[in-house]
Amino acid sequence: MSAEGTSSLHGAVRAPRSRHTVQYEVLRWRVNAEHWQTSAAVVQCRHPARSTHPMSIHQRTSQRRPAMTRHCQHYPMALLALAIILATSIVESAQWPRFRGPNGQGFAPDTNLPVRWQGPEQATWKVALPGEGNSSPVVWDDYLFVQSASTDGRQRYLICLQPQTGVVLWQRQWNGKAAPKHRKNTFASSTPATDGERVYALLWTGETYTLVACDFTGETVWEQNLGNYTSQHGAGHSPIVHEGKVIVANDQDGTSVILAYDARTGKPLWQTPRKPFRACYSTPFVLQRPQRRPELIVASTAGITAYDPDNGKELWHWEWRFDGMPLRTVASPIFASGLIVATSGDGGGARHAVAIRPGESGPVPDSHLVWENKRFLPYVPTLLAYGEYLYFVNDSGIAGCIRAATGERVWTERLEGGGSFSASPVLAGDRIYAVSEEGEVFVFAAAPEFRLQGRGSVGEQVFATPAIADGRLFIRGRQHLFCFASPAATRR
């Protein structure tokens, strides 16, 4: 894939600046007389610097993980107290490093985001992006990254902005070409990922996938050609980064694989074939159960599969059983109340959501299916987990709440004036932000009763999932990127 260079649009490009952010794995514990469970949510909090040499995110997490694991095994109540202390002290997170934020769970601890505004003129800032795209923004401290593409399909862009001001720091450009795609799709629907050292972007040329790594000054570090991509709907997969590896689940109508590259060098590490049922677009997450190795969780038409992220070995697999034609997974899987929840559907209205207990090894028996729903849950937007409940906004604009452990419906409510939804809702503290395809923003409580707390608008179509970082809500429209900041964030 030919690159056309880096352009710094507003002055000199700055080298990355660390705020010495420290990553904590805050565990929400549920304790009863018989057992305890974890529902892990990775959050970031600022911590006073102890060294003038900032550690990478991999170094920080690896140094803390062994001690955390020992405490998880032997001192759950002590960790519960620690988690409560940390959770109450965390106000904002300066990182939203991948699609749907830390570990893809759609949660940020920020609690002071705006909840009401009239239109785009009330945004803290608004920036025109070249072409169009459905790529969501990702943020690492003072750097925001987003992808875009020309409407004629001939150019692909990776853009770096300053999240506080919207100033464009640099822009990379590659050649591509037009290809068939869904009417709601674009040539830039993949969301980049970052580890605080590099940003990783999956570029669809119209024929092939190219995985590109750039440093924070916009210089290319490495590129890898992932081969041909085939789907009547076009492309839209998003990479993730886990412990020094960039991982892509490439489920398509052609040869489907999941593969990993060394984040620093781009060296291929492993590649595992997958069943090529239908092109699917869900993004994996990493499940860390007590006393077990990390499990890379992938949902597709084939089912729910866990891989060892170190070597790509399949650990266990649950097979999806459909009533008729196999359905497509677009929304990403999540973890809630000890269950993995995944959804599927198609454009004709068929829906099928499942919640399973994670497997141990090999084929997962049918007895692990805890509940399923074939009616009102989303096809494209991903669910949110908060406490013992799951929250959603489905494709037709119905918001709802169900019990995560049983699938029991608690409430549903139409978001009047919203129309259709493709973007996934996100959770800021205990407030849910959902953005419709028409750019209408709804803010409602993550609570067992529906409470609409605010509304806003960005005045243009939105298909990209919002991002939250450092007291700022970022909404990517088809042509613009909008920022709505808390009063405290605007003073920084």
Q: How far apart are CA 450 and CA 169, in angstroms?
A: 41
Question: Chain-wide mean pLDDT for the chain?
Answer: 83
Nearest 5 degrees, angle CA 205-CA 210-CA 215? 120
pLDDT average, residue stretch 139-152: 96
Confidence (pLDDT) at 107: 97
- CA 426, 429, 430, 433 dihedral sign is negative
pLDDT for res 274? 87
Mean pLDDT over 155-176 rounds to: 96
* pLDDT band, very low/low/confident/very high, at 3 (cuts 50, 70, 90): low
Q: How far apart are CA 123 and CA 291, in angstroms?
A: 46
Per-residue burial over 418-428, b if 16 or more Cβ lie within 10 Å, else e, is beebbbbbbbb
Residue 20 pLDDT > 50: no
pLDDT at 171 over 80: yes
Give the residue, 228 or 117, on which the prediction is more confident.
117
Report the C-alpha gap between 27 and 104 in whole angstroms: 16
- Rounded distance between C-alpha atoms, residue 218 and residue 411, angstroms: 47
Residue 470 parent element (H or E): none
Comma-separated ranges of CATH 2.130.10.10 domains in the chain: 96-490
Q: How confident is the model at residue 138 (pLDDT cuts 50, 70, 90)?
A: very high
Sign of CA dihedral 257, 259, 211, 95: positive
Q: In a 3-state reduction of DSSP, which class is residue 367?
A: helix
| Whether residue 42 has pLDDT greater than 90 | no
Q: What is the C-alpha separation between 392 and 434, in angstroms, rounded? A: 9
Q: How far apart are CA 153 and CA 177, in angstroms?
A: 5
* pLDDT computed for residue 38 by the predictor: 35
Cα(140)–Cα(23) distance, integer angstroms: 12
pLDDT of residue 418: 93
Rounded Cα distance, 145 and 263, in Å: 17
pLDDT of residue 11: 37
Residue 163 pLDDT > 90, yes or no?
A: yes
**Three-state secondary structure of 265-296:** CCCEEEEEEECCCCCCCCCCEEECCCCCCCEE
What does the pLDDT read at residue 2?
53
Q: What pLDDT, on the 0 to 100 scale, is given for residue 10?
A: 39
- Residue 411 CB contacts under 8 Å (≥ 6 apart), including other chains: 400, 401, 448, 449, 450
Residue 41, pLDDT > 60, answer no
89: pLDDT strictly greater than 50 = no
Q: 245 is written with which tokens?
A: 């590896």
CATH fold, domain 96-490, is Methylamine Dehydrogenase; Chain H (2.130.10)
Of 98-102, 349-353, 410-414, least confident by mean pLDDT is 349-353
- Beta-carbon contacts of residue 82 (< 8 Å; ≥ 6 apart): none
Q: Mean pLDDT across the stretch 349-355?
A: 93
- The larger pLDDT score, comparing residue 27 to residue 422, is at 422
Full-model pTM: 0.84
227-to-191, 202, 254 alpha-carbon distances in Å: 19, 12, 10
CA-CA-CA-CA dihedral for 184, 190, 191, 194, to nearest 10: 180
